Every structure is written in structure tokens, then in C-alpha cells.
């Protein structure tokens, strides 16, 4: 049973880079069974998939965010990370790390979510 925990600053200034880390327990981030990803939810709004990374290092991003997003993996720490550059107030959201089953397409595991506010 995977467990996920997001960490990172809760406040980011406009035009700066948002950086979050997801620590994985209960399984290896080198597993070929999963896509490791990020999903966000602006206050009072719906879910938006940001992107995912596979154990091979292949990355997949939402076309609407692709130019600003980088997802990477640190196998030594069993973590994966999100960087979102040039943030604006529109990037204020609860950010979830989430894991999809590669063979199924279901998002079976979620972190608790962390609120990131973009404000000066």
C-alpha cells in the first residue's frame, strides 16, 4: 500500500518557481507498475492533471502547462518532484501527488494535498 506525502513552501511569489516534493513509502519509485504524477485543484474548482513521470524517466505533461512544468525523480530518496515556473495567482491551488496504475489507468493513491498560494 503506497503512501504519499507532499512537502514544500505554502507561499510563492509571482514570477517565481513553485517547487514541491512527494515522498513515497510502502513501495519503490523505481517500480514499472506506476506513473508518478501531480494533480492540482484551485480553491472551489475542479481537478487538473499537471503531469506524470515513469520509472524510465519519461515525462508527460498537460499541454496547457508543458512550457512551465518539470517533473523529476530522486531514486535515492524515493521521491519525485514538481517545478512550476513563472507562477501567477492562477496557480494558487491544492497540489496533490498522485499515483496511477500503469496497467489500469486508475489513480489509486493520493497524497493529502498541500495548498500553495501565489502572492507577493
Partner 1 sequence: DIQMTQSPSSLSASVGDRVTITCQASQDISNYLNWYQQKPGKAPKLLIYDASNLETGVPSRFSGSGSGTDFTFTISSLQPEDIATYYCQQYDNLPLNTFGQGTKLEIK
Any contact of residue 113 with partner 1 (CB under 8 A)?
A: yes
Interacting residue with partner 1 among 9, 30, 32, 108 (CB under 8 A) = 108
Of 58-97, binders to partner 1 (CB under 8 A) are 60, 62-63, 96
Alpha-carbon distance values, 67 to 44, 60, 62, 94, 95 (Å): 25, 12, 9, 20, 18
Interacting residue with partner 1 among 2, 24, 29, 35 (CB under 8 A) = 35
Cβ-based nearer residue to partner 1, 17 or 59: 59
Residue with cell string 517547487: 19
Cβ-based nearer residue to partner 1, 28 or 112: 112
* CA-atom Rg of the chain in angstroms: 13
Q: Which spans of this chain sit near partner 1 (rule: CB under 8 A)?
A: 35, 37, 46-49, 52, 54, 60, 62-63, 96, 98, 100, 102, 104-108, 110-113
Amino acid at each position: 500500500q503506497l503512501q504519499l506525502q507532499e512537502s514544500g513552501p505554502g507561499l510563492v511569489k509571482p514570477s517565481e518557481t513553485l517547487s514541491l516534493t512527494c515522498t513515497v513509502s510502502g513501495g519503490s519509485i523505481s517500480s514499472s507498475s506506476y506513473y508518478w504524477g501531480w494533480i492540482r485543484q484551485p480553491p472551489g474548482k475542479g481537478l487538473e492533471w499537471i503531469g506524470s513521470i515513469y520509472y524510465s524517466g519519461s515525462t508527460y505533461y498537460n499541454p496547457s502547462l508543458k512550457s512551465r512544468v518539470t517533473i523529476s525523480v530522486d531514486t535515492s530518496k524515493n521521491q519525485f518532484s514538481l517545478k512550476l515556473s513563472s507562477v501567477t495567482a492562477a496557480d494558487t491551488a491544492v497540489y496533490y501527488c498522485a499515483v496511477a496504475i500503469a496497467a489500469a489507468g486508475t489513480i489509486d493513491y493520493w497524497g493529502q494535498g498541500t495548498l500553495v498560494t501565489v502572492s507577493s
